[in-house]
Amino acid sequence: DSGVTQTPKHLITATGQRVTLRCSPRSGDLSVYWYQQSLDQGLQFLIQYYNGEERAKGNILERFSAQQFPDLHSELNLSSLELGDSALYFCASSVVGTGATEAFFGQGTRLTVV
């Protein structure tokens, strides 16, 4: 158990809809990352938050947004969903500033858009 909790584990929704994925980081971790992994693909970095503020942005679509709340949990909002958005979405957390950035991943949310 990595200590990172993601909900829900599975999500099936229709095209055009909006969903929210939730992530609770490990206790004490201030940094949260979101990644997308399509079938048999590598991990694509979406966005990183550190202590409530956006720290880095990757290939995140304008239809997607995220935020990190004062209690450090994070949500990834996906809107106007398309079939191609079907993927595994992972959240990871880490302690920043220790000299080595080690990320600990949740179990992921499998999103299926039909």
Partner 1 sequence: TQLLEQSPQFLSIQEGENLTVYCNSSSVFSSLQWYRQEPGEGPVLLVTVVTGGEVKKLKRLTFQFGDARKDSSLHITAAQPGDTGLYLCAGALTGKAAGNKLTFGGGTRVLVKP
Interaction between residue 90 and partner 1 (CB under 8 A): yes
3-state secondary structure of 84: helix
| Interface of this chain with partner 1, residues 11 to 30, rule: CB under 8 A | none
Which residue, chain included where needed, has tokens 């993927």?
87
Paired tokens of 20: 């929210």
Residue span binding partner 1 (CB under 8 A) among the ranges 17-25, 62-70, 79-87, 105-113: 105-113
In angstroms, rounded to a whole number, what is the distance separating the alpha carbons of residues 39 and 50? 28
In the list 52, 55, 60, 75, the residue contacting partner 1 (rule: CB under 8 A) is 55
Q: What track of x and - describes contact with partner 1 for positions 30 through 49 (by CB under 8 A)?
A: -x-x-x----xxxx-x--x-
Q: Closest Cα to residue 55, out of 68, 44, 42, 43?
A: 68
Asked if 66 and 46 touch (Cβ cutoff 8 Å), the reply is yes
Positions in the binding site for partner 1 (CB under 8 A) = 2, 4, 31, 33, 35, 40-43, 45, 48, 50, 55-56, 58, 88, 90, 92, 94, 96-97, 99-108, 110
